[in-house]
Structure 1
């Protein structure tokens, strides 16, 4: 996280010197928000958007009604998909028993402000702040469902990393207990989500009615601390690999058991799965983010895999790892780029390897891993998207003694938006 941490540290409201914090008995918290440098925050958000392949301004910088439904008239309802995300601060209720109110406010607001900023980086819309929780929507009428899911996963993963590497460090340095956050995410298809107003007259809000919005909140409630729990529609629609998914386990009467379902009703014959999303493993699939590596040269400090996409308009544009969905049949050009003092490095051997995942690739190929022999020892490799799922292009290079000098993987998503979402509710026909 070395590349992200400087941005994380600046994004945080403000570091308070130890001596000031401790001498003030935490009363300084009351003044921290007032000294917040909004210009710096906006700059960091722009840098994060660029880093993760986002262009222009965030989709939404407001709270309340989703922008797609501002024109919804009284008594009107509308069907439209949405990906719902709930984030909650675990154990925050007891803060008031330990600290004065300014301290409690600082604790909670440190998480809430950070969540708002990071969710906006990934085009999320903040629907509601609920005490120590954030309810956000990802997706809109001009966005593919796959991209809404990807944005939600990227936002939640980055938020967990931010809490672990910056917020927790700040609290520990100042003799405070780090906060734990839990995230639940699920998505409902068009016919599974109804948008309308709740309430009466001026005391009302436009929001979503969907079992999948409800399940996002329920998933958050069952998520372990500092973890992300996702619903079946989400991981099945993207056909996420087992590499990123874990079955939640618990201990009952000394026996370890698995919890695979967020809904399990044998009478109604309703079964709806849930999985823990391994955000730390997932962040390792971003070629532009640092990760632990045993080779001599490391990515992206010494080298980086870069990808360009040839779109239908014949435009050649850069594609950042896991930034958005790619259609089938798209040409991808991968290149290994050596940095600074390694620019003149000429490895004796370069190997490109495709690592596929998902049902379509399993059914369509004899193997999910194959070397691109025609691009052996070349700095570039061309490939075409073919199967739904999350895939890798791996590049490794060796010295004259065939010793590994460096290796990294470039993660990407492919989806034709044709996979059905699971129906578990009652819908109008």
Structure 2
């Protein structure tokens, strides 16, 4: 007897999707409790930030994530990593800035802020290989002969490797980003390397960040082909070091162009700073 595989009710990918609600509550806002009896139970959080996370999930667009005010302000979430959700009403586009229906606290509307994740911008800084990342979003260019490496020095002097967006960096740390390029003539030397540091405005900016937001921070190098093939010169290395001074998610961008001015490599490192 041959068993038939039963297909799901949805035939089209358009019938299937996900919604994610993300929020943050500090220790005084969220209570963790064990519900159950004896050794059988579950640990669950309760509190307004948790309730709002569920609301945010329901308010998210299909196949997207909605971020609540708790995260937007606590992490100083970059405004260019988010977007305002909109709806059409009587032929007009209406911005939806807050969780609805609105909560009331102490007799006043809570007006809890929310933003949808701008997935295309955020994906650029995820810690995934550039050959995969360039197929997920614009602005990334892969080369199997060029790599980026990052190293953090903490305020206490601890040194460790860092992958983009995988760890929150303590303020007053420093980060070194190093590019490594194989000495292969196929790349068409000389190569122009550009490092760009961007400080992003968010939803809870520190005064020092606002004072320095328009400061241009660009470093450029030229790398020449070496005809010598000894091991110690098979890889060219250039790096920059920057201080992590402002809370938020900041970016280090690296671009490489060849002698034809063609962009042959581009990657973005997101640096979350607490």
TM band (smaller chain):
0.7 to 0.9
Conserved? CA contact 1:302–1:342, under 8 Å: no
Conserved? CA contact 2:78–2:248, under 8 Å: yes
- Specify the alignment match of 2:240 in structure 1: 381
Distance in 2 (CA, whole Å) between partners of 1:401 and 1:344 is 10
Check if 1:371 corresponds to 2:214.
Answer: no
Conserved? CA contact 1:347–1:397, under 8 Å: no
Q: Secondary structure at the match of 1:379?
A: strand
Q: CA deviation at 1:356?
A: 0.9
Conserved? CA contact 1:352–1:376, under 8 Å: no
Distance in 2 (CA, whole Å) between partners of 1:325 and 1:343 is 38
Check if 1:189 corresponds to 2:26.
Answer: yes
Q: CA deviation at 1:315?
A: 4.3
Q: Select the structure that is richer in strand.
A: 2
Q: Secondary structure at the match of 1:364?
A: helix
Q: Select the structure that is richer in helix.
A: 1
Q: Which structure ranks higher in relative contact order (CA pairs < 8 Å, sequence separation ≥ 6)? A: 2
5+ unaligned residues in a row in structure 1: which ranges?
1-22, 30-94, 100-170, 416-429
TM-score by length of 2: 0.76
Q: Secondary structure at the match of 1:229?
A: strand
Distance in 2 (CA, whole Å) between partners of 1:381 and 1:401 is 25
Q: CA deviation at 1:188?
A: 0.9
Distance in 2 (CA, whole Å) between partners of 1:338 and 1:260 is 45
Distance in 2 (CA, whole Å) between partners of 1:194 and 1:414 is 26
The size of the alignment, in residue pairs, is 249
Conserved? CA contact 1:305–1:335, under 8 Å: yes
Conserved? CA contact 1:232–1:274, under 8 Å: yes
Distance in 2 (CA, whole Å) between partners of 1:283 and 1:234 is 18
Q: CA deviation at 1:362?
A: 4.0
Seen in structure 2, the aligned counterparts of structure 1 residues 333 and 199 have a Cα distance that, compared at 3 Å, is closer
Q: CA deviation at 1:194?
A: 1.6
Q: What is the alpha-carbon root mean square deviation over aligned residues?
A: 3.4
Q: CA deviation at 1:368?
A: 4.8
> Which of 385, 391, 398 is residue 250 of structure 2 equivalent to?
391
Seen in structure 2, the aligned counterparts of structure 1 residues 300 and 279 have a Cα distance that, compared at 3 Å, is farther
> Which of 117, 140, 153 is residue 277 of structure 1 equivalent to?
117
- Specify the alignment match of 1:353 in structure 2: 196
5+ unaligned residues in a row in structure 2: which ranges?
224-236
TM-score by length of 1: 0.50
Distance in 2 (CA, whole Å) between partners of 1:201 and 1:273 is 40
Measured against aligned partners, the alpha-carbon deviations of 1:189-246 in whole angstroms (never above 9, x if no partner) come to 1110122344677886442220111111111112111110111111221111122101
> Which of 193, 203, 223 is residue 60 of structure 2 equivalent to?
223
Seen in structure 2, the aligned counterparts of structure 1 residues 202 and 379 have a Cα distance that, compared at 3 Å, is closer
Q: Secondary structure at the match of 2:113?
A: strand
Q: Secondary structure at the match of 1:212?
A: helix
